Structure 1
Amino acid sequence: MDVTQHNSNGWDKKVEEGATYTKSVSEEIMKKSQSGEWEITVTTNKPVPRNWFPKSLSGLKVLCLASGGGQQGPVLAAAGADVTVTDISKKQLGQDEFVAKRDGLNLKTVQGDMSDLSDFIDEYFDIIVNPVSNLFVKDVLPVWKEAARVLKNNGVLISGFTNPLLFIFDDNQERKGILDVKHTIPSSSIDYLPKDEVQDYINSNQTIEFAHTLEDQIQGQIDAGFVISGFYEDDFGGTRILDKYIKTFIATKAIKVKID
């Protein structure tokens, strides 16, 4: 099956249903952003430290990678950046286009796969912002390689991703407050299902998620030419039992270092 197309359809469905990560930022947030009081998240709750960004974003070329939904892109555009948002979901990109039109922003959208950035030339962007989304691709390593290719030397990649421990527990049991270790890493949400339920899951247009190893997430960035210079963790804000024991989201700041 074409996982990219399947997840594109799945995210279009999430927009129709008004899921959390499809809700665009408010006019109030945009007014604050335009006045210099801006922040974004690439995980769930915790804002990206402002010192992970240059003091001024004015004129900097920023790629919001797999970042549709009208959240990060419009805020960074309001802060002065030259922003391009790419995402597999046309309807997610529509959220960014809605905010741009509403608030008079200069913002571009490009529908595409985070693993294939062939729409963009080498060493074009100054910053890439990649919120939690690489769980929707089977292989995360091409994402890091493509990010390195389109970033300028000394460019910055700010990424959010899941700690794979999130995926080792049985979902149904966790909702009951029971942490039952059941799954291996790496794996996908389809791997967890009985064979007779797989097709029903696919037909339901639910997104397929992939649990990547920390080695692929972190060493994968290093192998692609990045140096990790910042790190923090985040959680679900106390809404899930796992929050009592561990933070299940990670954010990294990585700098592209080109060695001649």
Structure 2
Amino acid sequence: MDIVKHNSSAWDGYVDKKNRWTIPVSKQDLEQAKKGNWNIVLTPKKPVPHHWFPKLKGLKILGLASGGGQQCPVLATLGAHVTVFDNSEKQLLQDKTLSDQFNLNIKTVQGDMKDLSVFENQTFDLIFNPCSVLFVDNVLPVWKECFRVLKPNGILMTGLINPLSFQLDEERMSLIYKQPFSDLHSLPPDKLEALKNNNEALVFGHSLSDQISGQLEAGFNLTHMYEDDWGGEQKLDAYFPAFIATRAVKPQL
């Protein structure tokens, strides 16, 4: 099946349903950002440390699979030149609406995050990629494309998910799926059909090797990381943090 097309439709549906990851920031949030009071996330709860960011004014930023009007309008308010790239037209519309309303000059581009060919080599200073690589079947091309479109000394910030999260039965907290997990290949046919019929986004539990070592193999140097969880919203929070945020840099050539 066409994963890109299916997940695009699913996320358009999540916007209609007002999923938590589709609700844009408020006017008050942007006003506070102008005063220096701001935080954005790569993972559900922990804000990205401000020292991870260089000076934002004038910085060329790519919000990769970062539609929804939650992070990129804040970065644009802080003076960055922001382009949002996302698979969902309606998620991009959330950013465009705020951009038009507050004159943020955010550019929006729809596409598959594995293919950034619309952008030239060495276009951006920073890529901000909140948890979204779980929606692509192969994460390695994402890292290669990020490396290509970043300038030397450019920064990649990304949110990752511990693949163990996908392998557990959340009710019994027992392992039931082998790694690598894939909705397409791991689930029983009836469960997969139910996801399709309900227009739910399909996910892939990439190995830590592909998620972290994959960045290194693409050429990045890892500089920082932290772990995060659902803030007590999920049972697995009692056992391990499901999320990892990483900061990596493209070396000076």
TM-score (normalizing by structure 2): 0.97
The match for 1:222 is: 216
Matched, 1:123 2:122: yes
- The residue number in structure 2 matching 1:105 is 104
Counterpart pick for 1:238 among 221, 232, 245: 232
Cα distance change of structure 1 residues 198 and 243 upon mapping to structure 2, 3 Å threshold: closer
Residue 181 of structure 1: how far off its partner (Å): 1.0
Matches within 5 A, 1:44-193: 44-54=44-54, 56-170=55-169, 174=170, 176=171, 178-193=172-187
- 1:117-163 CA distances to partner (integer Å, 9 max, x unpaired)? 01100001000000000000000000000000000001000000101
Structure 1, unaligned runs of 5 or more: none
Equivalent pair of 1:38/1:79 in contact (CA under 8 Å): no
CA-CA distance at 1:197 after TM superposition: 4.2
- Is the contact between residue 225 and residue 258 of structure 1 (CA under 8 Å) also seen in structure 2? no
Cross-structure match for 2:28: 28
Q: Structure 1 residue 38: deviation in Å? A: 2.1
Residue 9 of structure 1 is matched in structure 2 by 9
* CA shift digits 1:83-114 (9 cap, x unpaired): 00000000000110111122221111000111
Would you identify which runs of 4 or more consecutive aligned residues in structure 1 move more than 6 Å? none
TM-score by structure 1 length?
Answer: 0.94
Tell me the alpha carbon deviations over residues 19-50 of structure 1, each in whole angstroms, 9 at most, x when there is no partner.
01000001111101122222210100100000
When the two structures are aligned, how many residues end up with a matched partner? Answer: 253
2:195–2:202 CA contact under 8 A, matched in 1: no
Q: Is the 8 A contact 2:163 2:181 kept in 1?
A: no
Over aligned residues, Cα RMSD in angstroms? 1.2
**What letter corresponds to residue 53 of structure 2 in structure 1?**
F
Q: Do the aligned residues in 1 keep the contact of 2:157 with 2:248 (CA within 8 Å)?
A: yes
Segments of structure 2 that go 5 or more residues without pairing to the other structure are none
2:206 corresponds in structure 1 to 212
CA contact (8 A) 1:152 1:256 kept: yes
